Amino acid sequence: MDLDDTAARLGVPVEDVDRVYRLAGDLPSAPLPARADAPALLDRLGVQPDDATEIMAGWPDTESPLWTPELRWLLDRSIALVRADLGGHGWLSPGPELPRDRGPAWRHLYVYAYLALVDVVLEYHRDHGIAESVSWATLADLGRNLAVDRRMNREGWPVMQSWLTLHARGGLYQLGRLQHQRGGTALDLHIPDSGPLTPEAIDASLDEARAFFPRHFPDEHYTAFACGSWLLDPQLSEYLPADSNIIRFQRRFELEPYEEPEGLDPDVEVRRFVFRTLTTPLDQLPRRTVLQRAAADHLKAGRHWQWRRGRFPI
Ligand SMILES: CC(C)(COP(=O)(O)OP(=O)(O)OC[C@H]1O[C@@H](n2cnc3c(N)ncnc32)[C@H](O)[C@@H]1OP(=O)(O)O)[C@@H](O)C(=O)NCCC(=O)NCCS
């Protein structure tokens, strides 16, 4: 196989193609669900009708002219790459970031990979005795992320592309309000965009996790809950009321000393989660909530947001 030629046709750096080639080797892939079953599956995965229509329009049928040999190669090898790390819980890129304006096959290649991995990860969940309701609640983050990406005029996908490999490998579980990512000694908490972050909902999710992980992963021993987020920036207390959900969430944690995060700009992450746009100029951002006003005014004053990590005992 000519890696340079494949990279050029895909419009991505050759190193990215080389990485897929090396990691996936000739490891087993997994088939996509039958086209006829796809609409019901997409619905179960929380995919909204406008995204489902696009995904169906780009479906990788054997005769589809949208799917060039390079795209078919990448889809097949990306599935193999993620599958090879089944049970893993680190961040994993499933492959290069593709140009997304070339139609649904390009735009949703990693969605098709996710769909192929649904059966694989469901079997992993079953082997660990995990209830189907948890499996589907977890996997339905696909639909939520596609909807966010649409709201963001498709600026959001590059991060989500790696994020969703956690779900597809059994590395993360949605238990009530929070998602819990397996790790070393701490369960990493993630907060999906799904309504307010009430203390009661958090308590219930933490309690669920305290029972879930010893039961389904008895070989793993967790001593803490941890989180890395813009939500843990102590500067937020300059702007938000003490009884707001975010400030009350912060109070649970003991923060690690501040370090500049690698490969992530906290100002960009605040824009992502508070405005769902990365490109709107500061003075045109909406000012509907106390947090939106704070987020923009802080940046306009030349200050920066922080991405903080913290933890508290299980
Ligand atoms: C985390 C989250 C659920 C908190 O929302 P919440 O429970 O409403 O939070 P608070 O009670 O502390 O809100 C305080 C104020 O900030 C506003 N606010 C909170 N989160 C906001 C957000 N993401 N965008 C805009 N405004 C927000 C609230 O509307 C409220 O302002 P108001 O009194 O003027 O209405 C919410 O920010 C969210 O959905 N974020 C997206 C997901 C995310 O950031 N995950 C973490 C990724 S690292």
CA of 196 to the centre of ligand 1 (A): 7
Tell me how far the alpha carbon of residue 236 lies from the centroid of ligand 1, in angstroms: 11
Q: Is 94 exposed, middle or buried (0-12, 13-18, 19+ CB in 10 A)?
A: buried
Q: How far is the CA of 19 from the centre of ligand 1 (A)?
A: 38
Which CATH architecture describes the domain 175-314? 3-Layer(aba) Sandwich (3.40)
Residue extents of the structural domains in the chain: 1-170, 175-314
The model's pLDDT over 99-147, given as tens digits with 9 standing for 90+, comes to 989 999 999 999 999 999 999 999 999 999 999 999 999 999 999 999 9
- Measure 235 CA to ligand 1 centroid, in angstroms: 15
pLDDT at 158: 87
Q: Which residues line ligand 1 (CB under 6 A)?
A: 191, 193, 196-197, 229-231, 240, 244-246, 273-274, 289-292
The Cα–Cα gap between 88 and 173 comes to 13
Q: What is the pLDDT of residue 105?
A: 96
Give the distance from CA 147 to its chain's centroid. Answer: 12
pLDDT at site 32:
98
pLDDT-flagged residues of the chain (< 50): none
Instruction: Please report the pLDDT score of residue 252 as a whole number.
Output: 98
DSSP state letters, 224-277:
EEEEEEGGG-GGGGGTS-TTSHHHHHHTTPEEPPP-PPTT--HHHHHIIIIIS-
Residue 151, token pair as written in the block: 């709201």
Give the model's pLDDT for residue 102: 95
pLDDT value at position 271?
97
User: What does the pLDDT read at residue 1?
Assistant: 83
pLDDT at 218: 98
Six-digit token string for 145: 């992320």
